[in-house]
Amino acid sequence: MNKPIPPHFPKLAAQLNTPIAVGGKTIPNRLWLAPMAGLSHSAFRQVLAHYGSCGLAFTEMCNAKAVPSENPRISPVFRWHEWELPSLVCQLAGSSPEELVIAAKRVEREGFFGVDINMGCSARGMIKREGGAALLKTPDKAMAVVEAVRKAVSIPVFVKFRTGWSKDIGPAVALAKKLEAAGTDCLVFHPRVAPDKRTRPPVIDNIRFIKEAVSIPVFGNGNVTTPQHCQNMLDTTGCDGVSIGRMAIARPWLFAQWTAGYTPDDNIFQDYILRLATALEQEFDPVRRIKRFRMFIPYFAANFLFGHSLLATFSTAKTMDDVRQLAKKHIRPDMPLNQSPNMNLYNL
C-alpha cells in the first residue's frame, strides 16, 4: 500500500506524549478527539478505542435542555460505554446558565471526565436558540454561563470556541481572558470566524494570541491532517496540544501513529470500515445507523485519489450488510492515497 506519511515522528511524539493537568486531573497525552455532531458518537469512539492512543475524547454535541431527562440506553447522542468515562468529556450546547447547570450536574453524576461548553457551532438553529457561537456575540453572557457551571460541578470545565463574528482576533482574546476568570480549566480554539463553513483555511497563527492571553491550557483545532501540520501548530502557536476533528474520522489510527509509532497494515482501511459497520449496528437502530454511515463516508472517501467514485459506490448502501459487501469488494490494499484529504469531499 502507498503510505503517504512515515510511521515515526520522534519530536512530535515526545511533545504529544507529555502528560497535562486540566482541572486537577492528569491526561496522558495531548492529542485529543474533537467533538463533532453526528460523527464523534459512541460507535465511532468504540472503533477509535480499538486503535488507541487518544488522550481525551469528546462526545458529539448534546442539547443541554434534553440531557437531564435523556436515557443513555436509547438516546442516539447522550450515549456512552462505562469504560469510556475516565477519558470522555461531554459537550453541552445551551444558551442559559440555568439549563447548562442542570445538564452539567447530570454529566458529573454519570462520571464523565469533564464537561465542555459549545461556543463554536454556528448552525442556523443553534444561533436562533442563542447557543453555540451566538454566545460569542455576548461575552458577559458567555462568562455568566461558565461561572454558573463552574460553581455547580467539580469536574474540569472546557470551552470550545471560534474567533467570533469578524476576523478581528481582539474580541476572542478578550473573551479568552473572561472565560479563564470565570473558571474555565481548558480552552479549545478553532481559529475561524463563526459564519465560515470551512470555505477558507483557519488562521492558525491566531491560536498564539489566545495562548499568550491566558495561563490555562489552550488546545488548537482546525485542518490538522498530517503530522507536519500538527508539529507546525505546536511550534508556531505554542499551544499545549491539538484537537483533531475530521481527520480522526478519516484515519482514527493517527493517534497511535503520531504518538506511539503505530504502522498501519495493508488492510487498515477495509478493517476500519468493517469495524465501524459493526459498531454502528450495535449502537443505533437501522435508520440512524445508515444516516450516521452516510455522514462518515465522505471523510473516509477523501483519503483516496479516486474518492468521488468510492463515495458514489457506498452511497448505494441501505444496510450495514451492504456496507460490508461493498467494503470487501472495493477497498483494496493497492488503492492510491492522497497525501492530505481531498477537500472537495472533506468539506461536504
Residues with catalytic function: 121
Pairing mode, strands 31-33 and 114-119? unpaired
Answer yes or no: are the C-beta atoms of 312 and 294 closer than 8 Å: no
Nine cell digits for residue 347: 468539506
Nine cell digits for residue 286: 437501522
Q: Which of 264, 173, 250, 170 has its CA nearest to residue 210?
A: 173
